[in-house]
Structure 1
């Protein structure tokens, strides 16, 4: 009887684990299946050129993905779901929940989001916080799906790529999320 119950418990745990993993994968993929919503104080565009500019309290959301900026240029010349969003701010910010439930937070003076490639490029005072590490430098390229980054300093810059690994970074990530939430609520 004990062996049978142990076997049933082990089977249940395996099925539950598989379901949890699939649910996490769905959360991540679900972001990109949701519509992209954009709000701002002002907006103007050119339908022939397929370009729009949004200014003042700009916020883009797509599922858990969120970009905030002072100014945003959207180019749709490549077609549907291939838009390129260029956000400018002091700093502009990006947040998104990852497949494991943790958050990634990024800030920079210029953030470029390529929707088709799911790539975020950060330039100017670039910062990336994920799990228990942070990176600060001049520019960072972040692949959202692969959760991979490439960071480098500008050739004329004195600022090197600084990576910090510690538990306090996770706390800073949470604080950054809280700060972004408070700014949104204003």
Structure 2
């Protein structure tokens, strides 16, 4: 990526994930073909056509594993689903649009407020989109890292993929960009 575009890229991408904060106080609804609960280890496994809904947040996957630590912090891992990808969709804070994402595996940690998307990772917000093999988002700092290699690495060589971003211009008058 051209280093002159990096500040613009970071600004645009950081504005894409302002999820609806009220969702955290809403009840969670889960549907699955099978649920396994291990209260002793505080592990819940949801398998088969899983749909997780909390307020405007919807996660669809083949399998979701949720663990909870002694302080009540939860971590979740969603894998598989339609076309082999786990997917999420959530309304953005104070707006009438949504952020959507998909990957082979999506991990979220409530303690650190970090989300990671592994393999075929893509996030869309309005007409903006970013994709790569790995996307990490820190909800506290509102910073993204997108790489072309697995787990945050940068792949090199002729067969290395590229990170891709589509960033729409901001119009001064607030009008939507031409499509």
Q: What is the TM-score of this pair, normalised by structure 2?
A: 0.70
Assess, with a 3 A threshold, how the Cα gap between structure 1 residues 110 and 35 changes in structure 2: closer, same or farther.
Answer: same
How many pairs does the alignment contain?
A: 141
Give the Cα separation in 2 of the matches to 1:56 and 1:144: 29
Q: Residue 161 of structure 2: which of 128, 148, 159 is its match?
A: 159
1:142 to partner: Cα distance: 2.4
1:85 maps to 76
1:147 to partner: Cα distance: 5.1
1:85 to partner: Cα distance: 0.9
Which is bigger in relative contact order (C-alpha 8 A, separation at least 6)? 2
Q: Does 1:49 align with 2:49?
A: no
Q: Does 1:120 align with 2:115?
A: yes
CA contact (8 A) 1:32 1:62 kept: yes
CA contact (8 A) 1:51 1:77 kept: no
Give the Cα separation in 2 of the matches to 1:93 and 1:101: 20
CA contact (8 A) 2:59 2:87 kept: yes
More helix by share: 1
Give the Cα separation in 2 of the matches to 1:36 and 1:131: 26
* Residues 118-143 of structure 1: per-residue CA shift (max 9 Å, x gap): 33210000001012211110010124
1:36 to partner: Cα distance: 2.5
Contiguous gaps of at least 5 residues in structure 2: 1-17, 170-179
Give the Cα separation in 2 of the matches to 1:68 and 1:40: 10
Contiguous gaps of at least 5 residues in structure 1: 1-24, 168-186
Q: Does 1:103 align with 2:87?
A: no
Assess, with a 3 A threshold, how the Cα gap between structure 1 residues 147 and 66 changes in structure 2: closer, same or farther.
Answer: farther
Assess, with a 3 A threshold, how the Cα gap between structure 1 residues 123 and 37 changes in structure 2: closer, same or farther.
Answer: same
* Residues 91-131 of structure 1: per-residue CA shift (max 9 Å, x gap): 00011000122110000000012233433210000001012
Give the Cα separation in 2 of the matches to 1:78 and 1:54: 21
Give the Cα separation in 1 of the matches to 2:27 and 2:58: 12
Q: Residue 30 of structure 1 aligns to a residue in which SS?
A: helix
